[in-house]
Structure 1
């Protein structure tokens, strides 16, 4: 697996030789992506999205989603992703007096119809990204601005998403957590997405669930894993899906809670 340039850049050229599933499931910035080869399967709490070669995808900031990257047989999975950070978007908003006029829908991501301007723009980036370069931040910032203007030209309706600078408001904690417990994110992400400081999130959580967030998440994920494995799913296919990063930690926690190893459920 390789990712060029380094992860501090706003533009990433990702190459994977084997099937891969992402770690943390939080999308911190809007992302404009082009699928060069291989396939991407992504899901939020409601929908599943399937991206194939030649497809363009828009992922929205402050959302939770899981991504599985599937390379073609004997070849690489390749994508280009541009992270449309808030600083640049605010700069463009001020310069061109662009503002969000209405609240956009809540989809975490969606497909963009193929367009010659999108394709020529993405192909122009490949020569930059296939060669390691230093001190390219200024160039990439210009490319990010170009991408934003291009998105607005081809899909003007994206203005309401790109220039919506509102932060998440305080929402129903119980409903949110029961819907999103299986996403592998740090606690401060859950707090932010429910419109709370970390301290307030922990205090409200204790009132609602009578448990700490960490203990509740562990038990909830293990209960979901127990059900899925008892229905015939393999532990190796389940542990990431319910929010664990490591199979050995999952197996240890599962045995500690239920007194049996996860694989034994498949043989009952």
Structure 2
């Protein structure tokens, strides 16, 4: 049984600690997030590429991303990480106060390595001290620490201003390319709509015009087709793929698979 804790406050800083079990899942990243790996490993994947982090790794995760993750504690140890969330209002305030603006950039990768120095290392240690002292619920102090963190990180990584201070919302993008890349993420249709630069009504209308079916039916068919291929051609076990393909539980996956193909997935392994 998994044991652990995640100390998350409204302040925007999370200290995570997990014991004795790899955690796999997926999530939507609504705000720019600095992720510092204290112990264990974290693997992020956008469906095309993996971004591994080990002890001491420091990453910036760009906002408005769909990512899968695997958190693995070290042998006989605990997975520990620190996540710092920069909301848009804090960044806009800093942009106005210091005149920092983004320049046009075509780099749209979701995860960036952050170069560290003595100041950044000291900053991280100060946040760990805040955690130990239970100060993550003191919003005034945390707001100061968030501002300090942004300014310190920009000194060592000035190019990150093009990410942090880009306040553009998702624009209308190619729907077919996006869905073919992201169909395996188990998120609500509202999220797909937002990330393609559409209202939910426009997303559904554009989708049915393109695919001649509803988004829900298409997603299930696409996931089942991929599951059938992985099981019959690659010899994958159903229990190893259902989460990666966006199904919430194995029993539901087996039920819809059998309904679609006439046999349970466990009976057709190649």
Q: TM-score normalised by the shorter chain: which range applies?
A: over 0.9
The partner residue of 1:172 within 153, 171, 174 is 174
After superposition, give the CA deviation of every residue in 1:161-207 in whole Å (9 maximum; x if it has no partner).
Answer: 11100011111111111111112221111101111000100011010
Q: 1:252 to 1:138 in 2, by over 3 A?
A: farther
Tell me, which stretches of 5 or more residues in structure 2 are unaligned? none
Structure 1 residue 130 displacement after superposition: 3.6
Aligned-pair CA distance for 1:131 = 5.0
Q: TM-score, normalised by structure 2?
A: 0.93
1:229, distance to aligned residue in structure 2 (A): 1.8
Superposition pairs of residues 180-195 of structure 1, within 5 angstroms: 180-195=182-197
Moved over 3 A (4+): 130-135
Partners of 1:102 and 1:175 in 2: CA distance: 23
Q: Deviations over 1:38-94 (max 9, x none)?
A: 001111132211100011011000122111101111211000000011010011011
Give the structure-1-normalised TM-score: 0.94
After TM superposition, give the deviation of residue 245 of structure 1 in Å: 2.2
> Do the aligned partners of 1:37 and 1:77 also contact (CA within 8 Å) in 2?
yes
| 1:85-96 equivalent positions in 2, closer than 5 A | 85-96=87-98
Matched, 1:2 2:5: yes
Which structure 1 segments of 5+ residues have no match?
A: none
The equivalences for 1:52-67 within 5 A come to 52-67=54-69
Secondary structure of 1:22's aligned partner: strand
Aligned equivalents of 1:129, 1:232: Cα separation in 2? 46
Give the paired residue count: 265
**2:258 alignment partner in structure 1:** 255
Aligned partner of 1:142 in structure 2 is: 144
Query: Tell me, what secondary structure is at the counterpart of 1:245?
Result: coil
Secondary structure of the corresponding residue to residue 268 of structure 2? helix
Verify the 8 A CA contact 2:115 2:156 in the aligned structure 1.
no
Paired residues for 1:71-220 under 5 Å: 71-132=73-134, 135-220=137-222
Relative contact order (C-alpha < 8 Å, sep 6+): which is higher?
Answer: 1
**Counterpart of 1:214 in 2: which secondary structure?**
helix
Deviates more, 1:210-219 or 1:227-236: 227-236
Distance in 2 between the 1:148 and 1:177 partners?
33
Offset of residue 135 of structure 1: 4.0
- Spell out the pairing of 1:24-35 with structure 2 (5 A cutoff): 25-35=27-37
- Aligned partners of 2:18 and 2:78 also within 8 Å: yes
8 Å CA contact 2:11–2:137 kept in 1: the answer is: no
Change (3 A) 1:264 1:114: farther
